[in-house]
Chains A and B, each alone.
Chain A
Amino acid sequence: MKNYEIVIIGAGPAGSMAAQAAAAAGKKTALIERNEKPSMPVRCGEGIGRKGLATTLEPQKQWIKSGITRARMISPSGIKVEIGNVDQSWILDRQTMDFDLVKQAVKAGADFFPSTTIVSAQKKTNGLYHCIGQDKEFTANCLILADGVESRIARCFGWDTALKLSDIETCAFARVTSPLIDQECCSFYTGGQVAPGGYAWIFPRGGAQANVGLGVIGSKCKAGLPKELLTRFIELRFPNSEVSHLHCGGVPVGRWIRPLVKEGVMLAGDAARQVNAINGAGIAYSLYAGKLAGETAAKALNKGTINHKILLKYQKQWAKNFGKQQDRSFALKEFIMNVGDGFLDRIANSLARENPEKISYLRVFTRTFATKPTLLLKAFKLFK
């Protein structure tokens, strides 16, 4: 039995940030990871906005594979819209970044337990949380669950984390090496033929390589469909290319879980469904939420007793800074799921005639409303 003040389950971006923050505040912290190493394998498109990363972290050179300022969106019928004016996006090397974040947490004083699976957890009468692993046991005053989309431990504390089929994108990821990859531009393909209820992406990572992947909404998925579609997508666009790192994973696209805090247990990252439902982006949110959860837990803990009022501030601050934005993305996603391919084609058609340098995400929005004015009314409800 190992005793800690704060135990964090899952050493992804959220967990490592939480562990680093908690340990840096002088708390006795444990970081538990199911795999031998975090991010083994990487199940991620690895794209992130510069601003999103810089909100929480000082970006390190070795984490960044490439920097992109152009995007291309391809509508269901194949109309290309070039966007020349996007904020800089980075394609990350998640493996290096996740390793480094764990190292930073360890350096700050956290104990790291790799290859350790926690099977269940419960609150004991003495108020301590008891985590039962396959061969190790831990006790904690405060528990941070950052165990990813497959989070099960939260169910031990009464959270219903089972996702509806309409709230999960089931994804397949690959690394493709081909001279046909445009290294200057991120591409997004939409449409029922390519990725029903989702999209396919091409994120160049330099050296003729790119992360290629796609997501299919669970309600339109069939067993094995994402892998099938991805194989077809790669064969069609990059014939005779070298494909490696073929993996799969789920991306939660529902609303973030409420409450985020129950007594001394907190949720962070994919486990809390802190993902932008429109594009499935989650790295920046996880980093922010993890750090915030760790800091808040450290503040709330004093000589073994938890100040619940302080702990609840985690949810308040999350809602204020990113939660509301994610709620809007979720509402927008719900809308887009119902419009069909024809609507996307009409927007693309009207945008394709414009000068790429002048198209920004804002212009995409205004065009969307010009294509379907009744949307404006719905939008007011969303953004008020």
Chain B
Amino acid sequence: MNLLKNKRKNLTKKNQRIKIDFSNCDRCGTCVSVCGADVITLAAQLHIDNKKCVLCQKCVTVCPFGALAAVEEEFI
């Protein structure tokens, strides 16, 4: 049971990532301005380097249109 719990914990911590809903993203750059890890870039499209992301989720909080969300990776 404990083993299972631990596994779940690892799941949520390690395999989360920030997902962009492109249909809702206005490319305003508010997320870029708060990102302390400097992993969000804005060119023709918004891009998040999930490998370097520290999952502080400040970008999710400030997105005026709610286009960002922390999700669990679907395939582990």
Contact = CB atoms under 8 A, between A and B. Distances in A.
A223 interface: yes
A252 B42 CA distance: 18
B66 A168 contact: no
Contacts of A151: 33
A151 to B, nearest CB: 7
A76 B33 CA distance: 29
A168 B30 contact: yes
B30 A170 contact: yes
Interface string A174-197: 000000000000000000000000
B34 interface: yes
Contact of B34 (A162, A172, A225): A162
B73 interface: no
Contacts of B62: 165, 168, 170, 218, 221, 250
A34 B43 contact: yes
Q: Which of A117, A222, A250 has the most CB of B within 10 A?
A: A250
A150 B32 contact: yes
Nearest to A117: B43
Interface in B36-76: 36, 38, 41-44, 58, 60-69
A170 B63 contact: yes
B59 to A, nearest CB: 9
Given A165-B58, A218-B61, A248-B26, A152 B66 contact: no
Given A34-B43, A152-B41, A162-B38, A223 B68 contact: yes
Range class of the A interface residue count: 35 or more
Range class of the B interface residue count: 20 to 34
A67 to B, nearest CB: 29
A150 B64 contact: no
A224 B65 CA distance: 4
Interface string A204-224: 000000000000101001111
Given A134-B43, A223-B60, A223-B63, A248 B30 contact: yes
Contacts of B28: 43, 150, 247-250
Contact of A165 (B32, B34, B65, B69): B34
Contacts of B26: 247-249
B33 A149 contact: yes
Contacts of A163: 33-34
A250 B65 CA distance: 11
Contacts of B43: 34, 117, 119, 134
A249 B33 CA distance: 10
A47 to B, nearest CB: 19
A225 B67 CA distance: 11
Given A247-B26, A248-B26, A250-B30, A224 B38 contact: no
A358 interface: no
A223 B38 contact: no
Contacts of B38: 152, 155, 162
B61 A150 contact: no
Given A134-B43, A221-B61, A249 B66 contact: no
Contact of B35 (A162, A224, A248): A162
Nearest to B70: A223
Nearest to A150: B29
Contact of B69 (A162, A221, A223, A247): A223
Interface string A358-371: 00000000000000
Contact of A250 (B33, B44, B67, B68): B33
A164 B35 CA distance: 9
Nearest to A133: B43
Nearest to B43: A117
Nearest to A229: B64
Nearest to B37: A162
A119 B47 CA distance: 12
Interface of B: 26, 28-30, 32-36, 38, 41-44, 58, 60-69
Given A162-B38, A170-B63, A247-B26, 11 more contacts: A119-B41, A134-B43, A149-B29, A149-B33, A150-B33, A165-B62, A218-B34, A223-B68, A226-B65, A228-B66, A250-B30
4 A-B pairs closest in CB distance: A224-B66, A150-B29, A250-B30, A248-B64
